[in-house]
Each structure stands twice: as structure tokens, then as C-alpha cells.
Structure 1
């Protein structure tokens, strides 16, 4: 977490930032800590739906050398948008919708690289979950080459709810997964589409795979059986571009 300007630590600074409507990406709270002031602040954060992560004190010590008092906030350089408003706007335009859903991508550089490719390929919005995914840090901004400020990012409580909403809006959802024999070159990407990319370690979760309309894989001809998620995402998105422009 090299972007020190994105960190606020200590009870009163975080409380002041919360009252000033600073956008929080995630707040780290020391495991087992309890006091009236901490408990009150945590309750206020929960009331504003700020994602909380309970971590050992050692992690907080690594994030800052200051007196963190058991709580550190990671602020966001971007404003997240509401999924419903973005979908409504996209459906009202003449462009064929293209959404990208990230199921627990955890590496900030992968996240940034994916945002860069998404912006270059005309993705209308990137959808992420409020908890469990990569925070928006200085590394994310740098790796995205500024794309993070040009493409809408929607945070949702649950990826599954976002998939249901897209499907109800007439958008087909397809998961990128090796758990299918159908590859991307035999998959129709020309209609309204939401592509789901999974986490670096586990891929798309089984609960999400059970909800999507289809699955597609990349042909792997070597001995290694997987690709970096940002590389795989690029291959999927540019196949969408190829089909829609050919």
C-alpha cells in the first residue's frame, strides 16, 4: 500500500473523514479490539455500508508507522456508481451493452490492468463486490494508466445479485472458466453481454457458475493449465471486439 495519501488512521481522523463524506474503499480494524470509541466508529461505518476487514495488529503496523489506534481506512480516489443507474443509461443508448463482472479479483495490479483493457475495449461498466476484492490503491490507479477515472465502476453487495439484475435487464451473462469444453471462438458475444472473470486462485465461484447463462474457456495448448486473469480478460474482451466489428 504505497500510496500513503490514500490512508487515514486513528479514531478521530477516520471519524472526521466519515462526517466529511470521504469515500472509503475499505477499513481495517484490529481483531479483538474493543472500546466505546472504536465500537461507536465501527457502528457508524457499518451504517454507511463501508466494507470492514478485521485483521491482526501486525497488518495494521505494516500499513502505517503512525499511531493507528487499531483502525486504518483506505480511501478511494474514485466515486463508485450505482449499478441500476448505469444499466438504465446503457440500455437507453444505441450501443450494444458490455459489462465486466469481477468475482473477487484480489490483486490490485491485476485489477488496474483489467480496468485498462476494459476501457480500451469499450466496456460500459466494471462491477465488483463491496467485500473480498482488491482495494483501489495508488498501484491500481497507476496500472490502469488512468482508465480507472474513465470507466464506471459499480460496487454491489453480492455478485449474484448483480448477475440476476443484468439477466432481468436482458443481458446475457457468460463466465470465463476452464470448467467447460466450449471455447470463446465458439461463443456468440454479439448480443448484450456481461462477462464474469474469477479470482486469481479459485476462478469464478461455483455459486456464480450455477447462475450464469453460459460458460466459455480459452484454449490452452501448452503444459500450463491457466493464464493470469488480466491476460485472460484481455483475450475475452478482444474476442468480443472482433465479433462485433467483423
Structure 2
């Protein structure tokens, strides 16, 4: 199975960014100083690359090589451009189905969602460049290889993707408990995009406000939440049920 490529060293990571490699995340040693480090931090911010400041012990676990305080993961997949992909899908399919993940952070949840998305014929998964779970070897493994089959798009801001999809004739349906409307009162038969939120805080208020519909799952037990990958599967299969008349 193809695995995430790892690069290390400040100059090597700078060169990778300059070469437009699909970098998923940069790990930077906490407290490091110097002009080259400042340059790296500036480039990472400018390109909105997902990054974390970590202790040196974390970097030592990531690689046994001389990392110079920086380790980066290059994605094993190629990401797609939003406008190009949406235009292509809208031209070729009568009722496309998109999935937006609002800063989902767990790589295994991400992998499980990708697997379900492939099984339910999702046309593209859209994630945010900064703050989203990276596509790692664990993501690929949990997806059972579906990450190589479902197009994944990275955008600067999920809200911008919401507006672009709406302008393209796609209805946006957000999964949230902050509504009285259940999933069974919402139609998924038109071209639509389902939004799932982060594990800890759900969908951001600005995206909820911009959505065409809000929908929740009825929870009948004492525990008032589902794992996000499970909730996502229920939403996707409700779309399948409505569209196929099962």
C-alpha cells in the first residue's frame, strides 16, 4: 500500500512547498529560532498549510533522521481544484452528491468517512487546508483504499466552498443538533452537499447560517451524540435511499 512520504529538514521542507508538493502537515519544534525558521513559518502561513508546534521528542518519534526541528508529511494522493471538479461533475451528472468536512481532525474518522463516501457514490469530499485531518497512511488504511477513488478537494475556507456550490445549483444540508428538523424531513433528491462538523465542536456557526437546510438525527438513548463517521454514514445512506427509492 502506498504510504505518506515524509520529508525533514528546514530547507527540504521549504523546497517542497516551493515545488507545490501536496503537503498535508508540517511539524515544527517548539521554541526554535533563526532566520531560516522564520522564513519557514512565514511560508507555511502564506500557503495556509496545516502545522503544529511540537516538542522535539515528537519529531524524534516521527523520524530517526536529522530533522533540524522540522518534519513534513506529503500526501499520498493528489488533491483536486474545487471549480474544475464541480463544473465537471455538474455537467456529467444529474444529481451530484458532495460532502464537506468542517475541520474534522481525526484521521481514522476521516478514513472511515471516505470509505462510506465511496460506497454511496459521493462525487467529491471537500476539506479545509488548515485545521483538517491530513491524509496519512492511517487514513488510507481505514478507508480501505477508497481515498484513491473519491476525489478530495482542499479549499482555503469551507464557507467559500458552500457559497460556490450554492451558486452552482447545489443545496447545502448541514448535520447539526441545533435544529428541530430531522433528517427524514429533508429532501436529498436535488443536487446537494452534506456538511459534517468537527468531532468536538460541530459545524461552525457561519456555515450553519449559510446552509440551505439544517438536519439532525433522532437520538433516543441517554447518549446525545454519535461518532461523526457513523452520523455521516446515516446521512449519506438516507440520500441513497431517497434517490434509489429503496
With the length of structure 1 as denominator, give the TM-score of the two structures.
Answer: 0.91
Contact 1:126–1:151 under 8 Å retained in 2: yes
Distance 1:188 1:156 in 2: 27
Post-superposition Cα deviations, 1:37-85, rounded to whole Å, max 9, x if no partner, equal: 2233444455555333333434333433433211110110011100101
Query: SS of 1:126's equivalent?
Result: strand
Contact 1:6–1:138 under 8 Å retained in 2: no
Q: Give the alignment's Cα RMSD to 1 decimal.
A: 2.0
Q: Does 1:59 align with 2:67?
A: no
Query: SS of 2:210's equivalent?
Result: coil
What number of residue pairs does the alignment pair up? 244
Match of 1:195? 194
47 and 215 in structure 1: CA distance in 2 versus 1, 3 angstrom threshold? closer
Match of 2:158? 159
233 and 4 in structure 1: CA distance in 2 versus 1, 3 angstrom threshold? closer
Distance 2:218 2:174 in 1: 15
- Which is further off, 206-215 or 81-90? 206-215
Q: Does 1:86 align with 2:85?
A: yes
220 and 5 in structure 1: CA distance in 2 versus 1, 3 angstrom threshold? closer
Distance 1:112 1:5 in 2: 14
55 and 152 in structure 1: CA distance in 2 versus 1, 3 angstrom threshold? same
Shift of residue 19, structure 1, vs aligned partner: 5.2
Q: List gaps (5 residues or longer) in structure 2.
A: none
Match of 1:232? 231
Match of 2:22? 23
Match of 2:175? 176
Contact 2:3–2:76 under 8 Å retained in 1: no
Query: SS of 1:32's equivalent?
Result: coil
Query: SS of 1:29's equivalent?
Result: strand
Shift of residue 95, structure 1, vs aligned partner: 3.0
Shift of residue 35, structure 1, vs aligned partner: 1.6
Q: List gaps (5 residues or longer) in structure 1.
A: none
Query: SS of 1:234's equivalent?
Result: helix
Distance 2:4 2:75 in 1: 10
23 and 197 in structure 1: CA distance in 2 versus 1, 3 angstrom threshold? same
Distance 1:168 1:20 in 2: 32
Query: SS of 1:74's equivalent?
Result: strand
Query: SS of 1:37's equivalent?
Result: helix
With the length of structure 2 as denominator, give the TM-score of the two structures.
Answer: 0.91
Distance 2:174 2:22 in 1: 30
Query: SS of 1:210's equivalent?
Result: helix
Distance 2:212 2:153 in 1: 21
Shift of residue 186, structure 1, vs aligned partner: 1.2
Post-superposition Cα deviations, 1:206-230, rounded to whole Å, max 9, x if no partner, equal: 2211111110011111111111100
